[in-house]
Amino acid sequence: MLLGTASSGPIPPDVADVALTPRPLQDRSRGGVSFDLTPYRSLGCWIDVFDWTMSYAGTGRPAIGPHDLTGLAARGVRTVYLQTARYDRPDRTDDLLERDRLWAMCDSAHAAGLRVVGWYLPTHVDEGQDLRRVLRILEDRSFDGLALDIESRTVSDVALRNRRLATLVGAVRAAAGPTAVIGAIVVPPTTMQDVNPNYWPGFDWAMLAEQCGVFLPMNYWTNRLSSSPWRDAAASTAENIRRLKAAGGRADYPVHVVGGAAASTTPAEVAAMIAAVHAEGGIGASLYDLATTGAALWPPLAALG
């Protein structure tokens, strides 16, 4: 641990980690993309920019630093899903937010035996920015995978939004190569098709299944009304896996279920999600997000195996 001067006091562990980690940009360049399904198998955890960056932490210290990742493997975690940028900081220098800190997070995860999937939420408003920020994940060897968070309805013209989504996914596929696995983080079918069919009309499930290679449905049963059948963690998990496998056109199409929200769920609900993942042949599961996952939720999560 690095120590400060007598007047400044000790440097927090995460700041010390970052201070030891900076690398020149070229040191992180990737020679080629070889992303496969491995990161999506088994247990994952999610970290967004509000929890790991100084930019979005306000005046306080970020909730999660590099040192917080060292013990995750002991809890059964195999992959960290790490948000790399956000649309509301448009400067090109923020295509990867706070690179030194981001790299420190990735290095800490890798040192702990974890994989890192970088994810980004495109808004389809600035197509160039969306593509540029996704390609930065592809180009940086700190990441073992890439996932697109496909949920923004900022573009109100649905036909235009659908075209821009298809264009973005096609460009990412072309850059990644024909065999690389790209994660598609999606609003679950039960929400789009049953709860709110107007959420995203004409959503092209088949295109995403063909171009991406794995679905990650945001199956937040905690957001549903108590009267909804999809408030049940087991029922919603099972049905979304079934529908996404059907969209993928085969019984073994890969699905990694993202449950939660962690702050509002119970150990029994998490256990029910994990049981449904096993029963329906899902390849992995996680809760959104790491910062709000209480101690009581880890034992049922670890049952994923």
Q: How many CB atoms lie within 10 A of CB 268?
A: 11
Q: What are phi and psi of 60, to 5 degrees?
A: -95, -175
**pLDDT on residue 60:** 77
The mean pLDDT value for 102-115 works out to 94
Share in percent of the chain as helix, strand, coil (round to 5): 45, 15, 40
Here the tokens at position 130 are: 């969306």
Q: What is the CA radius of gyration of the chain?
A: 19
Query: How many whole angstroms separate alpha carbon 78 and alpha carbon 293?
Result: 16
DSSP H stretches of helix in 177-266: 189, 205-211, 233-248
CATH says 35-302 is which class? alpha beta
Q: Give 51-118 as a DSSP string.
A: HH-STTSTTS--S--GGGGTTTGGGTEEEEEEE---TT--SGGGSSTTHHHHHHHHHHHHHTT-EEEE
Reported as a single tens digit per residue, the pLDDT across 13-23 is 666 666 666 66
Here the tokens at position 234 are: 């087991």
The mean pLDDT value for 84-102 works out to 95
Calculate what percentage of the chain has a pLDDT beyond 70. Answer: 91
Per-residue pLDDT for 7 more than 60?
Answer: no
Query: How many whole angstroms separate alpha carbon 135 and alpha carbon 157?
Result: 25
Average pLDDT, whole number, for the chain? Answer: 92
Reported as a single tens digit per residue, the pLDDT across 153-179 is 999 999 999 999 999 999 999 999 999
Boundaries of every domain in the chain: 35-302
Q: Is 77 left (phi over 0), alpha (psi -120 to 50) or beta?
A: beta
Here the tokens at position 152 are: 């923004």
| Of 79, 233, 224, nearest in space to 145 by CA | 79
Per-residue pLDDT for 95 more than 80?
Answer: yes
**pLDDT on residue 112:** 95
HEC string for 106-138? HHHHHHCCCEEEEEECCCCCCHHHHHHHHHHHH
Per-residue pLDDT for 4 more than 60?
Answer: no
Here the tokens at position 253 are: 């199409």
**pLDDT on residue 24:** 66
Per-residue pLDDT for 2 more than 50?
Answer: no
Calculate the CA dihedral of residues 188, 193, 199, 200 and round it to 10 degrees: 90
Per-residue pLDDT for 8 more than 50?
Answer: no
H or E segment at 16? helix 13-20
The mean pLDDT value for 222-248 works out to 98
**pLDDT on residue 30:** 83
pTM: 0.93
**pLDDT on residue 19:** 66
**pLDDT on residue 22:** 62
C-alpha 196 chain-centroid distance: 23
Q: Are 302 and 76 in contact (CB under 8 A)?
A: yes
**C-alpha neighbours within 13 Å on the C-beta side of residue 212:** 31
| Residue 57: DSSP 8-state | S
Give the type of residue at 110: H
Per-residue pLDDT for 1 more than 50?
Answer: no
pLDDT level of residue 27 (50, 70, 90 thresholds): confident
Query: How many whole angstroms separate alpha carbon 94 and alpha carbon 31?
Result: 22
Reported as a single tens digit per residue, the pLDDT across 30-88 is 877 789 999 999 999 999 999 999 999 887 789 999 999 999 999 999 999 999 999 99
Query: How many whole angstroms separate alpha carbon 289 and alpha carbon 205?
Result: 25
305 or 125: which leads in pLDDT: 125
Reported as a single tens digit per residue, the pLDDT across 190-231 is 999 999 999 999 999 999 999 999 999 999 999 999 999 999
**pLDDT on residue 59:** 74
